[in-house]
Structure 1
Amino acid sequence: MANNFHYLNKLTQNLRSISTSSTKRDAWLSKIFVRKIEPTKESHSRMLSDKEVIYGLQTHNFRADSKKPYLQNIKNNLDLIKSQGSLNGVELVGSWTVNVGDQDQALHLWRFNGGYETIDAYNQVVAENEDFQKLIEEQGKLVRSRHLQYLLAFSYWPQILIRNRKNIYEIRSYALKPGTMIEWGNNWARAINFRKNNDEPFAGFFSQIGRLYNVHHIWCYEDLNARKDTRESAWRSPGWDECVAYTVPLIREMHCRIMIPTEFSPTK
């Protein structure tokens, strides 16, 4: 009987020890892996953007032997848009080819003033216009793949300013964990203040249609050495490291590309 009592007492102590250890472990893990997202009745787009303007980001992978005719095709498309009086709400903001990163790739950033109403009108004109259809058919023979995203600009990002002097651009693209967009925005609303040297911020967007929970930050530099200097300067600013520490856990995937403006790009 005494032996049985001793055994039960020992078993109870072990179970309590396991339970306590498990509770401590779960609490420790929760601090690392679980991020509390506050419920909200507002959509992410309304909380993070205050602009009634939609941006379209085209990503084209052109054939290695077709760069010149491909760029001419894009220019012809731009000229045709400009010639259509009904499409004055559609404008090209920037056009680039990738220099470092995904090779044989071009990105084109369009602005649709008037939002989705302008996009619907644009799509209808393109669908009914034979000249647009010919350009689309021609483009299909020059590219390997195409992707289009509709984006909103972050409200805390500086207004897009067209550059007139020669620059290089860096687009840093992030795939975030679902449910973390507001947390990302809250942190970057502070972090952007550390990255305003030499007017380096060009544009900051989050996706609405296309690949979701995507963020794109576009930076402008005089050259690669200027990029190095400005990024090192940010790391010397108190608070920047804290922003990085808070936002890195929100990311599933990220990559950057260095881009060169095309001859017809409005921003240089």
Structure 2
Amino acid sequence: MSRVSPLLRLRPLLVAPNRSLSGSSVLNAEGGEGWLSKLLVRKIEPTKESHSRMLSDKEVIYSLHTHNIRTDSTEKYLKNYKTSVDIIHSKKADLCCELMGSWTVSVGDMDQALHLWRYTGGFEKVDENKRELKNDADYVKLEKERGNFLRSRHLQYLLAFSYWPGAEPRTGGNIYEIRSYSLKPGTMIEWGNNWARAISYRRNRNEAFAGYFSQIGRLYNVHHIWCYKDLQSRKETRENTWRSPGWDECVAYTVPLIREMHCRILEPTEFSPTQ
């Protein structure tokens, strides 16, 4: 039996043309659809499949490390982390992980670094890698030393949305923007359904880098990562997107799903695979 695509399981919720909600008509003065109607046209049908299975490949796991650095220790911290990366990459025969990107925050949460790793082989390989590195005395020593340079840290395990690009490394001097969303529980499939369409409006300048959702750590957390030449390019790209017919509709459908959101501008470290 053929499987129905998970992104086609959403059906419109029909609203009667003359019905009012909280005293506000769904139709505007000209008889067309108003903004309120855009917030009422999607619902999720019950499903026996997890959203992770429906939206992603569960055999590829990503980890996002967020490190808050002591203000006087940035250089020491980056040197330490680069050495740790070199050790991991020297063990390619034994480990199934690779660094996808390393950044420091230039706008947003200052004195912060983010590192994105990819594991091939599911959580089984994540467990194997952890055991292998715990037995490496040099790596363990670096981890302990790194604690002296940090105020706090956070780790999330993520899956990639299947409709996003595959996080291919970029060359040249770029900046990155990570937009992080905390969603209402139960809305991940609806988010995926709308962004599967919305991402088509953001391909013109190849700015879409990668999109992920959390599995372990802060749950119902989504990260969209964008790549731009500079802040002016970011401004122009976003303004052009708003001129695309249909983009405003995607925004109208997804905004009600968000509990909290914030963005950070990132600059690649000198050892980051993507620049």
Taking structure 2 as the reference length, the TM-score comes to 0.85
Could you tell me how far apart the structure 2 residues matched to 1:193 and 1:85 are?
A: 35
Q: What per-residue deviation string (whole Å, max 9, x for no partner) do you get for residues 11-62 of structure 1? A: xxxxxxxxxxxx975999x986997432101110111113521000000000
Q: CA RMSD in A?
A: 2.2
Determine which of 157, 166, 189 is the counterpart of 1:159.
166
Residue 191 of structure 1 deviates from its aligned partner by 0.1
Taking the TM superposition and a 5 Å limit, the aligned residue runs for 1:1-268 are: 25=22, 36-50=43-57, 52-268=59-275
Aligned amino acid, residue 218 of structure 1: I
Distance 1:186 1:133, change over 3 A: same
Q: 1:51 to 1:159 in 2, by over 3 A?
A: farther
Task: Give the SS at the match of 1:141.
Answer: helix
1-side partners of 2:225 and 2:114: how far apart?
Answer: 12
Q: Please give the alpha-carbon distance, in whole angstroms, between the structure 1 residues aligned to 2:143 and 2:165.
A: 34
CA positional deviation for 1:260: 0.2
**CA separation of 1:43/1:24 partners in 2, compared to 1, >3 Å: closer, same or farther?**
closer
Q: Distance in 1 between matches of 2:228 and 2:70?
A: 28
Aligned to 1:7: none
Aligned identity (percent) is: 67
Q: Any conservation in 1 of the 2:100–2:272 contact (CA below 8 Å)?
A: yes
Gaps in structure 2 of 5+ consecutive residues: 1-19, 26-35
Alpha-carbon offset, residue 264 of structure 1: 0.2
* Partner AA of 1:131 in structure 2: D
Secondary structure of the structure 2 residue equivalent to 1:263: coil
3-state DSSP of counterpart to 2:271: coil
Give the whole-Å Cα distance in 1 for the aligned partners of 2:73 and 2:169: 28
AA paired with 1:68?
Answer: E
Report what 1:17 is aligned to: none
Aligned pairs, number: 246
Using the alignment, how far apart are the partners of 1:191 and 1:174 within structure 2? Answer: 16
The superposition leaves residues 69-125 of structure 1 with CA deviations (integer Å, 9 ceiling, x where unpaired) of 000111010011112244441100000000000000000000101121211111101
Tell me the distance in 2 between the aligned counterparts of 1:180 and 1:148: 23
- Distance in 2 (CA, whole Å) between partners of 1:121 and 1:62 is 28
- Paired residues of 2:52 and 2:58 also in contact (CA < 8 A): no
8 A contact 1:126–1:133 mirrored in 2 = yes
CA-to-partner distance for each residue in 1:198-242, whole Å, 9 max, x for gaps?
110000000001100000000000000100111001100000000
Contact kept? 2:62, 2:117, Cα under 8 Å = yes
- Verify the 8 A CA contact 1:51 1:155 in the aligned structure 2: no
3-state SS in 2 of match to 1:197: coil
Contact (CA 8 Å) 1:61, 1:143: kept in 2 or not? yes
- Whether the 8 Å CA contact 1:151–1:205 is kept in 2: the answer is yes
| More helix as a share of residues | 1
For 1:50, give the aligned amino acid.
Answer: D
Q: Distance in 2 between matches of 1:33 and 1:161?
A: 37
State the Cα distance separating 1:165 from its structure 2 match: 1.3
Name the SS of the counterpart of 2:205 in structure 1.
Answer: helix
On the 8 A contact 1:203/1:217 being kept in 2, the answer is yes
Are residues 121 and 236 of structure 1, via their aligned partners in 2, closer, same or farther at CA, if it must alter by over 3 Å? same
**TM-score, normalising length from structure 1?**
0.87
Q: Counterpart amino acid of 1:70?
A: Y
The residue identity in structure 2 corresponding to 1:139 is R
* Contact preservation (8 Å) 2:207, 2:227: yes
